[in-house]
Amino acid sequence: MTKLGIIGAMEQEVEALLARMEEKSESERAGSRFYDGLLEGLPVTVVQCGVGKVNAALCTQILCDCFGVTHLVNTGIAGSLCADLDIGDLVVSQDAMYHDVDAVAFGYPMGKVPGMDVTAFPADDTLVGYAFAAAESVNPGHTKIGRVASGDQFVASKAVKERIIQLTKGLCTEMEGAAIAQTAYRNGIPFVILRAISDKADDSAEMDYPSFERIAAHRCAAVTMELAKHLFDAEEL
């Protein structure tokens, strides 16, 4: 039976989902609140993990160990790394990699975690398909599938943005996705990352981010609800 773990970093990224959940029960682990219940009829656990890779990874592991999730989705906002992705547009992860992991001195390519067999963690094809269909139904013609680039850095300069594009070829940048992807990968749990663009990750980011954060986060939550519907329907077949 499918149980979807839904991870958002900030309150704005989960509040719309929590408002729509039914049969909701709440508990706290490692300082984060976990909400167990039904979304669009589908069993889910939603967590607001906090910002950054460590918060994201530890909440993902808790979802796997303590809440029995079978699938994972990360919902939230991101800075655009692609001229064709404007504020409000959506990204569905093909895969996710770090832009700030550096073991180059030991011969590893930039971005690769020593000991892992991949540099970019692949998302699940079925979830990618459902997420794309869900995104298209919420905002038709404004979704791209591609790489998510993650690091413990809010990117707000053209120079940093260019470096991340060159290294990762990512479509967007944020601060949790690859850590969730790595944790899912190590646990053998299928995942997808869904992100709505809140800023251009350049010198305009500090201005745009506060204006568009909530709108973009809620758009992404709407797509996550559609994704839950698709998973529920697939289960019924």
Per DSSP, the three-state class of 92 is: strand
136 phi/psi in degrees, rounded to 5:
-65, -35
Least separation in angstroms between CB 192 and ligand ADE: 18
69 vs 78, beta carbon nearer ligand ADE:
78
**Catalytic choice (13, 40, 174, 202):** 13
At 196, list the tokens. Answer: 């709505």
Least separation in angstroms between CB 156 and ligand ADE: 6
Q: How far is CA 80 from CA 5, 58, 172, 229, in A?
A: 25, 26, 5, 27
23 is catalytic: no
Least separation in angstroms between CB 201 and ligand ADE: 4
- Contacts to ligand ADE by CB under 6 A: 77-79, 154-156, 173-175, 198-199, 201, 205, 209
108 vs 154, beta carbon nearer ligand ADE:
154
| Nearest alpha carbon to residue 200 among 43, 49, 79 | 79
199 is catalytic: yes
**Catalytic choice (89, 95, 199, 202):** 199
At 43, list the tokens. Answer: 């069993």
At 8, list the tokens. Answer: 């958002």
Least separation in angstroms between CB 79 and ligand ADE: 3
Q: Is the dihedral of CA 81, 85, 89, 90 positive or negative?
A: negative
Least separation in angstroms between CB 150 and ligand ADE: 8
Q: What is the largest CA-CA distance in the chain?
A: 52
182 vs 198, beta carbon nearer ligand ADE:
198
At 134, list the tokens. Answer: 């869900």
Q: How far is CA 3 from CA 42, 47, 160, 187, in A?
A: 7, 14, 38, 15
The residue nearest ligand ADE at its CB is 79
47 vs 205, beta carbon nearer ligand ADE:
205
Task: Note whether 97 and 150 are within 8 A (CB).
Answer: yes
Task: Note whether 34 and 61 are within 8 A (CB).
Answer: no
100 vs 136, beta carbon nearer ligand ADE:
100
Catalytic residue list: 13, 199
